[in-house]
Structure 1
Amino acid sequence: MKQMSLGLSMRYHGYHVAAWRHPEYRPGCNLDFSSYRAIAQAAEAEKLDMIFFADGLAVRGVDRPEGAMSHDMRNAELEPLTLLAAIAGATRHIGLVATASTTYNEPYHIARKFASIDHISGGRAGWNVVTSWSDQEAQNFNKTANLPREERYARAAEFVDVTKGLWASWEEDAFVRNKETGEFYDPEKVHVLDHEGAFFKVRGPLNSAPTPQGHPVIVQAGASAQGRDIAARHADIVYTVAQTVEEARDFYADLKSRAAELGREEPPLIMPGITLYVGATQAEAQAKFDELQALIDPLAGLNILYNFVGDLSGYPLDGPVPQDLPHSNISIAKGLLQKAKDEDLTIRQLYETVAAGFTGRYMIGTPESIVDDMQLWFETGACDGFNICPPLLPQGMEDLSRFILPELRSRGLFRTDYPGTTLRETLGRKRPVFGAARTLAEA
């Protein structure tokens, strides 16, 4: 019986915008390694596929309405690759996935860092490929504004090609390490990349060895046409923010079809994000939800919306969401405006909806009702699993252990043990054959 893939998203110690105001949230835990380590170990004890850290390269957003940024917890965090390297030493099986931008990094850096994490962890590294969308990030890297959308995605496509080419610098048995002859590696089995493209000129080879997974797992997040193209060509996993099962099925079918057209034998696994408010009863689950919703500061709520649809502070909070707003260049924004229109939401209701799942889908219910919904998505061509984005940690992981995972296992939908030691083995993915990771120009 086919089983789900499940990941735990750990950024900020909670995805609800007011998580830090909850009575059980420990101040400073988002900078405390021991707290992340404990959550990762709890996730591994429950045999989750992976933990995941999203990332940004700035205190992103604009202080609108004025004073809003000072009410936001998402402005100080640990750098995720450093954090994953530390967690690798405290775990043995769980996958370690982090975001790294193709806009403000270089392929050689990314190839080397993720290869190192794959070696350190024994084959559990995953790179979430994104482009950076904010001007605040640009201003930290010698620019005044972000790159145009088309240029960002063109750069990203070449970036992934180059990174995979660098990961293919050495054949599997290149390092002979022969003490008697003095030969450390076979010179016939090292490959100089010599890539020259529109955005990058990279000689190589990478000063690393083939990693335990062949190369790290590639993850992609984004629903744009350009993002889907990158995902169809390269990704092992795709994170999505689908709100309805119909939307999810359309995305799933489109991406699998794109991958098939490229001749891929293993299309990407699709894992929508989902935030769960679960209790033994519906009333208990609703109480957890209501407690967090009551902690949303209006300034913080309006600031979330500003990042997507602009400044709404001049409109009544309990009035309708204006529909003549120019949405931003992020895929999420158009969906938010459509949701407000379809459901006749007020501004307050819209920011409460966004805050509850941090733009993603959320559910409130009992283990049975929530798993019914997850099973429907999984068995009707909407997903291959889920990226769980708890509203609050470590409580969200505790709720998974107590409520959701036992119900999934009772239905045969989730594992009771890891099938191997690498993330690829956990995901049921084949180890790449040497040469499959080279760039188009070299292949």
Structure 2
Amino acid sequence: MAKHKTMKFAVYIVGSGMHLGSWRLPHVQADASIDVSFYKKISQEAERGKFDAVFIADSLAIDANSHPHILNRFDPAILITAIAVSTSRIGVVATASTTYSEPYILARQFASVDHISGGRAGWNLVTTADATGLTALNFSRKKHVVHDERYRMAEEFIDVVKGLWDSWEDDAFIRDKETGQFYDEKKVHVLNHEGTYFNIRGPLNIGRSKQGQPVIFQAGSSEPGQKLAARSAEVVFSHKADFEEARAYYLQLKNKLSQFGRTEDELLILQGINPVIGRTEEEAVEKLRQLEDVLMPEQALKFLSGYVGNIDLTQFKHDTPASEIPWREVNSIKSDYEKIQRIIREENPTVGELYNKVSNAAPKANFIGTPEKVADELERWFTGGAADGYMIIPSILPDSLTDFIELVVPILQERGLFRSEYEGVTLRANLGLRYPENQFVLKTSEQVSTGNS
């Protein structure tokens, strides 16, 4: 009998909330982005709601257009370690770049968190989009790696990391006090990777965890991004404007999996949403109005300028048609650039209107309203083949998350669409993902079965 499918939920945590003006609200903690106790409380709240994971984004450079929370924040890998020891069941996912990291260090960091958390770690693999080119200057480089090459580098990077994670077989450490044998030398493997971008010997100096390896998250809508996701990711975070766009992306990405010998249940797609919930429609609209009141238009345009890198949108009047801007594609997130151009072609917005149409922090109409309305829309996307679950992107923390947990989650549980209790103790178990076999053990088994040595 097939296992009943239920929604998966993660929460995107960045300071006091993803909305640019959230920190200005009187009751909100303005310094939340550097308060570890705040992150612990938010994570415990998400665990109370039976969420699968908390998700920490990152950036490696700042400029005048940066989101306020990006200016002063923790290193994600260190932060999720603190979160891990203050929670017991929820997954902890941190962002780290394949363009500006070393495979050995990254593999060791995430394997360590995976052990510390008892098998609840996840790595959000990014290639680092940088429209300004400033990140390269923080890493002794003269320019940012071009888009498609970043993805080629990422493919090799992830192969190295997974190989390092498999350095030790699950039962390699014997620790026999009588014989004095600490480990079985036959069950430790040297990677000896020699590639285009990396030459790594190995082995890693930490073994596999309770869940085998950290879960690999990724977000990428461009063709190279989708290829990387279909090849290596286990959870993809997407952000589509409506049901039809989300469903088309879902089908497109799932159909790519067979090219890499994978099945549809080996990759979960979470759609990013930013619900604004009220016990009545009027209450939800009032909450949205309060957010709009604290959003400074100049700040919104500065932040949007960061998407395009080479254009300062604050120099234009708010009623300027966006189609009149001299847009030029930059070496950043191609899907974002294409999204902006599509919106301009189809909706002809003004510069002032563009932020709410482009930003991931801008609530979408179908997710603004009563708990029942939001639950209905979540169910429509889930059962209609547009999402395996959702990345909740709260406008205000903890308010927006608590509203969702207390008002929407019970409805989904009553409908049998979401868990009432965690299924397992690891992130993989709760997501319903398979335990990854050690590639060196598989290789040995294949050699034996074919008579090769």
- What range is the shorter-chain TM-score in? over 0.9
Residue range with higher mean Cα deviation, 368-377 or 160-169? 368-377
User: 1:258 Cα deviation (Å)?
Assistant: 1.2
Amino acid at match of 1:40: S
TM-score between the two structures when normalised by the length of structure 2: 0.91
Aligned CA distance change for structure 1 residues 320 and 438 (closer, same or farther; 3 Å): farther
Relative distance call for 1:421 and 1:113 in structure 2 (3 A) is: same
Match of 1:200 in 2: 198
Matched, 1:126 2:122: yes
**Cross-structure match for 2:342:** 338
**Alpha carbons of 1:216 and 1:240: their partners in 2 closer, same or farther (altered >3 Å)?**
same
- Shift in Å, 1:243: 1.1
Task: Please give the alpha-carbon distance, in whole angstroms, between the structure 1 residues aligned to 2:274 and 2:372.
Answer: 16
Amino acid at match of 2:24: R
- Give 1:89's aligned residue: 85
Asked whether the equivalents of residues 323 and 348 of structure 2 are also in contact (C-alpha less than 8 Å), the reply is: no
1:161-205 CA distance string (max 9 Å, x none): 000000110111111111122111111111100000000000000
Shift of 1:244: 1.8
Distance (whole Å) between structure 1 residues aligned to residue 124 and residue 208 of structure 2: 20
Quote the Cα distance in structure 1 between the aligned partners of 2:363 and 2:109.
Answer: 29
Whole-angstrom CA distance in 2 between matches of 1:402 and 1:257: 36
What's the counterpart of residue 315 of structure 2? 314
Contact 2:278–2:371 (CA<8 Å) still a contact in 1? Answer: yes
Which secondary structure state, in structure 1, belongs to the residue aligned with residue 72 of structure 2?
Answer: coil
RMSD (CA atoms): 2.0
Q: Kindly report which structure 2 residues correspond to 1:100-111, keeping only aligned pairs within 5 A, or say none.
A: 100-111=96-107
Tell me, in whole angstroms, the C-alpha distance in 1 between the residues paired with 2:375 and 2:178.
60
Aligned match of 2:60: 57
Long gaps (5+) in structure 1: none
The residue aligned with 1:163 is 161
C-alpha separation between the residues in 1 aligned to 2:153 and 2:441? 18
Asked whether the 8 Å contact 1:242–1:272 carries over to 2, the reply is yes
* Map of 1:26 onto structure 2: 29
Summarize deviations over 1:33-53 as a string: whole Å, max 9, x none: 111111111111111000000
In the alignment, does 2:410 pair up with 1:410? no
Of 214-223 and 343-352, more deviation after overlay is shown by 343-352
Candidates 413, 419, 423, aligned match of 2:423: 419
In structure 1, the partner of 2:451 is: none
**Contact kept? 1:167, 1:437, Cα under 8 Å:** no
Q: What letter is aligned with 2:110? A: F
**What is aligned with 1:327?**
329
Query: C-alpha separation between the residues in 2 aligned to 1:174 and 1:83?
Result: 30
1: CA distance between counterparts of 2:135 and 2:442?
30
Matched residue type, 1:312: L
TM superposition outliers: structure 1 runs of 4+ over 6 Å: 436-439
Compared CA separation, residues 279 and 157, structure 1 to 2 (3 A): same
1:359 deviation in Å? 6.5
Distance 1:80 1:396 in 2: 22
- 2:388 maps to what in 1? 384
Supply the distance in 2 between the matched residues of 1:231 and 1:261 (Cα, whole angstroms): 12
In structure 2, list runs of 5 or more residues that go unmatched.
448-453
Deviations along 1:302-343, one digit per CA (max 9) or x if unpaired, are 112212232223322023212552233421122123223322
Change (3 A) 1:314 1:86: closer
Instruction: In structure 1, give the amino acid aligned to 2:60.
Output: L
Amino acid at match of 2:306: N
Q: Which amino acid aligns with 1:346?
A: T
Contact residue 293 and residue 352 of structure 1 kept, 8 A: no
Q: Which moved more, 1:80-89 or 1:22-31?
A: 22-31
Aligned-residue offset at 1:141: 0.3
Q: Which segment drifts farther, 340-349 or 105-114? A: 340-349
8 Å CA contact retained: 1:242, 1:360: no
1:78 is matched with which residue: 70, 74, 80? 74
2:369 counterpart residue number:
365
Equivalents in 2 of 1:110, 1:73: separation in Å? 24
Contact conserved, 2:382 with 2:389, CA < 8 A, in 1?
A: yes
Q: Aligned pair in 2 of structure 1 residues 252, 274: CA closer, same or farther (>3 Å)?
A: same
Secondary structure of the structure 1 residue equivalent to 2:71: coil
Residues 230-275 of structure 1, C-alpha deviation per residue, up to 9 Å, x if partnerless? 1111111000111121211121112111112221144310001110
**Contact 1:252–1:383 (CA<8 Å) still a contact in 2?**
yes
Note the C-alpha offset of 1:399: 0.6
Cα distance in structure 1, aligned partners of 2:339 and 2:361 = 13
TM superposition shift of 1:354: 4.0
Worse overlay, 26-35 or 257-266: 257-266
Change (3 A) 1:438 1:217: farther
State the match for 2:20 in structure 1.
17
Taking a change above 3 Å as real, the CA distance of residues 109 and 75 of structure 1, as seen in their structure-2 partners, is same
SS at match of 2:216: strand
Contact 1:354 1:360 in 2 (8 A): no
SS state at 1:177 partner: strand
Which of these residues, 184, 187, 202, is aligned with residue 185 of structure 2? Answer: 187
What are the Cα deviations for residues 360-399 of structure 1, in whole angstroms up to 9, with x where unaligned?
8563111111111111110111110000000010111211
**Aligned residue number for residue 430 of structure 1:** 434
Question: Residues of 2 paired with 1:140 and 1:271: CA distance?
Answer: 32
Cα distance in 1, alignment partners of residues 155 and 82 from structure 2? 30
Please state whether the residue corresponding to 1:8 is helix, strand or coil.
strand
Distance apart, 1:438 and its partner CA: 9.0
- What is residue 356 of structure 2 aligned with on the other side? 352
Query: In the comparison of the two structures, how many residue pairs are matched?
Result: 433
Letter in 2 for 1:284: E
SS at match of 2:27: coil
Distance of 1:405 and 1:392 partners within structure 2: 18
Compute the displacement of 1:92 (Å).
Answer: 0.6
| 1:84 CA displacement | 0.7
CA distance in 2, matches of 1:251, 1:199: 31
Q: CA deviation at 1:434?
A: 1.7
Distance 1:436 1:48, change over 3 A: farther
